[in-house]
Amino acid sequence: MVQKLQYLKETPSQTAGPFVHIGLAPGDAGFDIYRTELGRDIAGPEAQGTPITVTGQVIDGNGTPVTDVLIEVWQANAAGVFAGAGEVEPGFRGWGRVIPDFDSGVFRFETVKPGAVAGPDGRMMAPHITFWLVARGINVGLGTRMYFGDEAAANASDPVLGLIPEPPRRQTLIATAEGNRYHFDVRLQGDAETVFFDI
């Protein structure tokens, strides 16, 4: 016998289910209860940088939009600083909750384009927004990243995109750009399945 290591086990995840909005976005469930709902304003009124709009869909293995998904996004400000880890503009949280239209599954959010952030080895990571997806049928929240299609040079040297062994799969993390509007679909299965991370 040996001494016991006194670590605890992480609480197992369970699906957020189809009614996640009641808890995390009650206005979308259809009722008004809190003074303020959290995550409705990602960048705040004083954010510096380029305002952007992101749209997209989360698509299941049958090609059907996942209309009950709830996405949380997390990003640095335009200077590449995360709220809580350095000085950011007043009101900049860099975190938000994104809920698609319940009929079409199309989501849309507004924020500012994040700046590049240093990776653990000091190499710069291309601008990106972290996504975390929960829904009915998703047993453990899915983590991925959205990169920007108009940052080809930065994307090409991004250390995280570079970890993806199959170059075509890197494209699954890159939003198409049209001016300050970006489109990013997340595919849960299929030929163009999005790369999800085990972090």
Partner 1 sequence: MSLPELQQRDRSWHPPAFAPDYKSSTTRAPRQALLSLRGTASELTGPTFGHGDIDPLDNDLLRNYAHTGDPIGERIIVHGQVLDENARPVPHTLVEIWQANAGGRYRHKKDSYLAPVDPNFGGCGRVLTDADGCYAFRTVKPGAYPWRNGVNSWRPAHIHFSVFGTAFAQRLITQMYFEGDPLIALCPIVNAVPDARAIEQLIAALDMNASVPLDSIAYRFDIVLRGHRATYFENRPEGG
Tell which positions 103-162 bind partner 1, by CB under 8 A.
Answer: 117-122, 125, 128, 130, 132, 134-143, 145, 160
Q: Pick one of 2, 3, 7, 167: the residue that binds partner 1 (CB under 8 A).
A: 7
Q: Which is nearer to partner 1, 35 or 179 (CB)?
A: 35
**Which long-range contacts link 169-175 to residues 24+ away (Cβ below 8 Å)?**
169/195, 170/195, 173/128, 173/144, 173/145, 173/146, 173/147, 174/146, 174/147, 174/148, 174/149, 175/54, 175/56, 175/146, 175/147, 175/148, 175/149
Question: If we measure between CA atoms, which residue out of 106, 128, 118 comes closest to residue 197?
Answer: 128
Tell me: does residue 164 bind partner 1 (CB under 8 A). Answer: yes
Residue 22 phi, psi dihedral angles, 5° rounding: -55, -45
Scanning 46-54, 75-83, 104-112, 146-154 for contacts with partner 1 by CB under 8 A, the matching segment is 75-83
* Least distance between partner 1 and beta carbon 179 (Å): 25
Burial class (CB in 10 A: 0-12, 13-18, 19+), 72: middle
Q: Does 53 bind partner 1 (CB under 8 A)?
A: no
Binding to partner 1 by residue 183, rule CB under 8 A? no
Q: Which of residues 23-52 bind partner 1 (CB under 8 A)?
A: 23-24, 26, 29-31, 33-36, 38
Among 1, 2, 10, 87, the residue binding partner 1 under the rule CB under 8 A is: 10
